[in-house]
Amino acid sequence: MHPVIIALTILSASVPMIVIWTALYALRQKRRYKPALALSNETPRCSVILPCKGFNDTLETNIRSFFSLNYSNYEVVITVESESDSAVPVIRKVLSEYRNGRLVVAGITKSCGQKNFNLVSAVDTVVDSEILIFADSDIKLFPNWINSITIPLLSNKATAVTGFRWLYPTDNNMGDLAHSLQNFILYSFFVTAAHKVNTGLWGGSMSIRKSDYERLNVKETWLRTSVDDMSLSQILKREGETTLFAYDCITPTSDTIKSLRGAVRWLERQVMYLKAHQRPEWICAQLAAMAYLSSYVLLGYATIAAIFFQQNFFLSGGIAWFIQTGLAIVLTMLFPAFGEKGRWKSFIIASPVSFYTAAYGTIRTMFKRKITWSGFRYTINMKDGTVTKVERLQK
């Protein structure tokens, strides 16, 4: 076997091996995690900020879960971009049944991500809360969620606390499977980054003291950028602040993207945020994607060599793809150990496609500087992550 083929085989196999290592590390940290205990019966006032856009079948159930928490002193501030949003009728129906919720209509952004604009508009209305908690409307909360995400703040262990979303597949279509596997990979890297380099927040479940939100000028940053969690993570890392990953604040959901194209676009957006706010991590993602796709180059070369030149298919590089695919399947075997597994066995068939599309989507971000999300297209200054142009797309 030629030395170049050996080198590329090792290189392509290293990518799933690294992902397997991060998954095992995340699993070890999860099992070692001890939830923080409250130091007293103190229940400081919390404001849960919940941005919503559009209607789906689980929206009402998810919103109701925010009003069924084992915490006595909190409010839910739901925020939308306009009164005409299709989520508003459901929101108003739920709010009519509870006294600790209200709706903030933010208006249309002109200089930042619409979600950022919604969050800032909602926070601006908060008067007497000590803690701000940010969440997404595509998750259903468990009763102890507020305690899980605030106790580490009260014990001064961190400036910000984060959870994560655990996606599991319920269908056998490629979008559902690819999205779940992509989220699994991101979860593994997210946990590793949180422990090793003190970075990583997920906007779907994160908390910060209101005083720190103001001290760190988060509002000013959000009003110039396209994403909430990575821009806040960038601030905390720059200022030497501490973040904490709360393993008891992971929310399972089967709300996956059902089309493969949609799953690839979702991943591209996540990688674009890395490009804008965490450039070293984005460069590592590019190198990993290219290393992974090298097995497909070898597969093509080996096929041609075997058919036209009667060379040994495996020794000509074909073995690289089989080693890589075998390791990818090993990774999928770890999935059930983390949470709800759904139809995880379908990963065995879908893993080559899922990994390939993830690598493909990652490399595509090299040639982009625009992010399309929820009806808006943002042109990003990749040097500092600021939004230079906002375009509202036609429905």
Specify whether the CB–CB gap between 209 and 131 falls below 8 A: yes
Q: What is the pTM of this model?
A: 0.92
Can you give the pLDDT at residue 37?
65
Can you give the pLDDT at residue 327?
93
Query: Does residue 42 have a pLDDT over 80?
Result: no
Domain over 36-259 is classified CATH 3.90.550.10: yes
Cβ partners under 8 Å of residue 215, min gap 6: none
* Pairing relationship of beta strands 376-381 and 386-392 according to DSSP bridges: antiparallel
Instruction: Domain ranges for the chain, please list them.
Output: 3-23+279-389, 36-259
pLDDT digit string (tens) for 153-185? 887 778 999 999 999 988 878 899 999 999 999
Can you give the pLDDT at residue 395?
62
How large is the average pLDDT for residues 68-94? 96
* DSSP label at residue 225: B
Cβ density class 249-276: b for 16+ within 10 Å, e for less: bbbebbbbbeebeebbebbbbbbbbbbb
pLDDT digit string (tens) for 98-130? 999 999 999 999 999 999 999 999 999 999 999
Percent of the chain exceeding pLDDT 70 equals: 98
Can you give the pLDDT at residue 83?
96
CA 192 to CA 187: how far, in whole Å?
9
Mean pLDDT across the chain = 92
* Model confidence band, residue 38 (pLDDT cutoffs 50, 70, 90): low
Rg (CA), the chain: 22
pLDDT digit string (tens) for 213-269? 999 999 999 999 999 999 999 999 999 999 989 988 889 888 899 999 999 999 999
pLDDT digit string (tens) for 332-367? 999 999 988 887 778 777 888 889 999 999 999 999
